[in-house]
Structure 1
Amino acid sequence: MDPIIAATHANPYPYYAQLRAEGGLVFHEGLNVWVTSSARAVAAVLAHPDCHVRPSHEPVPKAIVGGMAGRVFGQLMRMNEGERQRCPRSAIQPELALIDVDEVNVLVGARLITPGADGLYNAMFRGPVCVVAALLGFSPAQGRAIGELTADFVACLSPLSDQVQLDAAQAAAEQLSGYFIELLDDPSHQSALLAGIRQRFAATSDDSETLIANLIGLFSQTYEATAGLIGNTLLTLIRNPSLRNESTCVEDLIAEVQRFDPSVQNTRRFVAAPCEIDGISLNTGDVILVLLASANRDPQLNDHPEVFLLDRPDRRSFTFGAGRHQCPGQLLALSIASATLKEILAMKPALDRLTWHYRPTLNGRIPLFSDLP
């Protein structure tokens, strides 16, 4: 096993424990990257100003440079440093924190969730994007179309995508941008979320293209991460039948799953200037693989980290990042996942009639379900 394969391995956590025992920050010869596995090292890398989210020589992946997907990617706050990161974040994060959980519950409850693997797939992947689209002021029909386009667009974020998928991602970026241009030009839209974001953004910038790119980014960040959170919670229920009862608090269940078996297993940082982290000297151009899932199970971060505890006191997690690039939509993602899981469980699905495999990816842990014959 290696730290990349681990993300979709049946049980990578003993391997992560082995890495932590070897040192919080070590060099992996085979992958030619530094690997951080301990909570201390992960925290230090995520907080360090010289550890950037993109390599300085390639701010946009070569495979998508020149098209709309590349233009969107290049303006995403999660893919930038400095003002290009702070400006959109200062507009979007405060407004996401104001979203009413009851409104999220209503929007999730209004969606038709059907039993079986196909219904789970739509609930995991399409549903959360439709909820975010509704919060931004799109109609249900537009939300369904946006869900399909987002599925195509996220292909531009994966190094595993082939040319057909990348071409579809470019087309999807064009169409998603068009949806937002029309929405922003509509004087009758009633979205408090979008109005708040626009007002905050206008205070620091008049670049509508950057605003639109980061609104598209809300969809792409929602798509896989929330799907993985819902899916891994279902796997937890399959593996632990004792949790399948009405006394189980779904919010606590989701909160512990995101720590114990997170949908985002790792992320990367690129060293922009010589620096020292956790006693190790790093050089410009070095690549760091940050094992968030390993840090979550570090005994220095959580007591008894290998035990799944619904009522875990002072739960700590790196799943949504930390520092300047911490996910701004953490509360929204948890709310959508909790509401969706409640709707799924209300159908009393035959969880024991499901099989699954993990979606091919370099950093995610996202189960795809199938019905047993």
Structure 2
Amino acid sequence: MDPIIAATHLDPYPYYASLRADGGLSFHQGSGLWVASSARAVAAILAHPDCKVRPAHEPVPKAIAQGAAGKVFGQLMRMNEGERQRCPRSAIQPGLELIDAEAVSALVRARLISPSADGLRKAMFMGPVCVVAALLGFSPTEGRATSELTADFVACLSPLSNQAQLDAAHVAAERLGGYFVERLSAGDNQSPLLEGIRQRLADHDTLLANLIGLFSQTYEATAGLIGNALLALIRNPQLKGEMQRDPARVSDLLAEVQRHDPSVQNTRRFVSAPCEIGGASLKPGDAILVLLASANRDPQLNDNPDTLILDRPTRRSFTFGADRHQCPGQALALNIASATLGEILTRNIALDQLAWEYRPSLNGRIPLFTELSEAQP
């Protein structure tokens, strides 16, 4: 195993523990990356001003730099620093914080979730984007269309994507931008969330890019959160009955799953100036693989970290980032996932009849479910 492919390994956590035992921040010869695995090292790197989200020489990946997806990528707040990060964040975060959890639940309940592996896949990937689309004022039909386009767009975020997928991502970026242009020009005030963001973010291109970013961030991270919670129920069958008897416990499960088995296993930082972190001397151009999932399991961060504890009194997690790049949509993602998982449980889907494998990724841990009968030769 190596620290990159660990994200989709059946159980990467013993390997992460071995990395922490090596000091928490060390150079991995095979990948040419510094690897931060301890809570102390991860916290220091996420907070350090000289550890940037993109390398200075390549603010946009070369593979997409000349297309529409690259234009969006280059203006996403999560891919920028300084004012280019703070300005869109300050425009988007206030509205996300005002979204009512019951309103989210009502939007989730309005969608039909079929009791099958295909139904689960749609609930995990398409459903959350449809919820965000509705909050932004789109109709159900438009929500379905934008969720399908988002599925194509997120390919531009993965170095594993082939040229056909990247070409589709460029098309999706253009079409998603078109949907938002139409919604913004409607002037019907159907979405207080969208209207508030528009008023706080004047630059048109930055506005469009980060609205698309809301969809793309929702798509993968929330899908993995829902999927890994389902895996927790499969691995701990007694929890399913507990959730069905007391639906309020679903939120407790999601809160612990995002720490214990997160959908985002790692992120990267790029050193922009000489600095010393955790006793290691880093130089400009160095790349750091930041193992968020390993830090979550560090005994220095959480007691008894390898155990799934729903009533954990002082839960600490790096899953949604930290400091200036902490995800502003954490509460919304957890609310969507909680409502979706609750609806899945009301349909009493036979989880023991599901097979699964992880979606190919270098940083995401997102299970894809199939019917057990289909998975067997």
> In the aligned structure 1, how far is the partner of 2:189 from the partner of 2:120?
31
CA contact (8 A) 1:355 1:372 kept: yes
1:144 corresponding residue in structure 2: 144
1:119-268 matches, within 5 Å, as 119-201=119-201, 206-245=202-241, 246-247=245-246, 249-268=249-268
Shift of 1:189: 3.4
Mind listing any 5+ residue stretches in structure 2 that lack a counterpart?
Answer: none
> In the aligned structure 2, how far is the partner of 1:330 from the partner of 1:3?
25
1:283-294 matches, within 5 Å, as 283-294=283-294
- SS, match of residue 64 in structure 1: coil
Shift of 1:370: 0.3
Equivalent AA in structure 2 for residue 14 of structure 1: P
2:56 corresponding residue in structure 1: 56
Q: Deviations over 1:182-229 (max 9, x none)?
A: 11111113101111111222xxxx311101100000000000100000
Equivalent AA in structure 2 for residue 235 of structure 1: L
> In the aligned structure 1, how far is the partner of 2:349 from the partner of 2:62?
44
> In the aligned structure 1, how far is the partner of 2:97 from the partner of 2:175?
28
Mind listing any 5+ residue stretches in structure 1 that lack a counterpart?
Answer: none
CA contact (8 A) 1:355 1:369 kept: yes
Equivalent AA in structure 1 for residue 205 of structure 2: E
> In the aligned structure 2, how far is the partner of 1:185 from the partner of 1:258?
37
Shift of 1:293: 0.2
Shift of 1:162: 0.2
Equivalent AA in structure 2 for residue 224 of structure 1: E
User: Cα RMSD over matched residues?
Assistant: 0.7
> In the aligned structure 2, how far is the partner of 1:326 from the partner of 1:308?
24
> In the aligned structure 2, how far is the partner of 1:15 from the partner of 1:63?
32
> In the aligned structure 2, how far is the partner of 1:116 from the partner of 1:322?
36
1:266-345 matches, within 5 Å, as 266-345=266-345
Shift of 1:122: 0.2
Shift of 1:5: 1.1
Shift of 1:158: 0.2
> In the aligned structure 2, how far is the partner of 1:372 from the partner of 1:250?
25
1:14-53 matches, within 5 Å, as 14-53=14-53
- SS, match of residue 60 in structure 2: coil
- SS, match of residue 269 in structure 2: strand
> In the aligned structure 2, how far is the partner of 1:93 from the partner of 1:52?
21
> In the aligned structure 1, how far is the partner of 2:263 from the partner of 2:346?
23
> In the aligned structure 1, how far is the partner of 2:74 from the partner of 2:301?
34
CA contact (8 A) 1:183 1:189 kept: no
> In the aligned structure 1, how far is the partner of 2:369 from the partner of 2:5?
20
> In the aligned structure 1, how far is the partner of 2:69 from the partner of 2:189?
26
Q: TM-score, normalised by structure 1?
A: 0.98
Shift of 1:95: 1.1
> In the aligned structure 1, how far is the partner of 2:16 from the partner of 2:82?
32
1:6 corresponding residue in structure 2: 6
- Runs of 4+ displaced beyond 3 Å: none
Q: Classify 1:80/1:296 alpha carbon distance in 2 versus 1 (closer, same or farther; 3 Å).
A: same
The percentage of aligned residue pairs carrying the same residue is 75
Shift of 1:120: 0.2
- SS, match of residue 212 in structure 1: helix
Equivalent AA in structure 2 for residue 135 of structure 1: L
> In the aligned structure 1, how far is the partner of 2:307 from the partner of 2:103?
33
Equivalent AA in structure 1 for residue 19 of structure 2: L
Shift of 1:121: 0.3
Q: Deviations over 1:277-306 (max 9, x none)?
A: 111110000000000000000011001111
2:65 corresponding residue in structure 1: 65
> In the aligned structure 1, how far is the partner of 2:240 from the partner of 2:176?
39
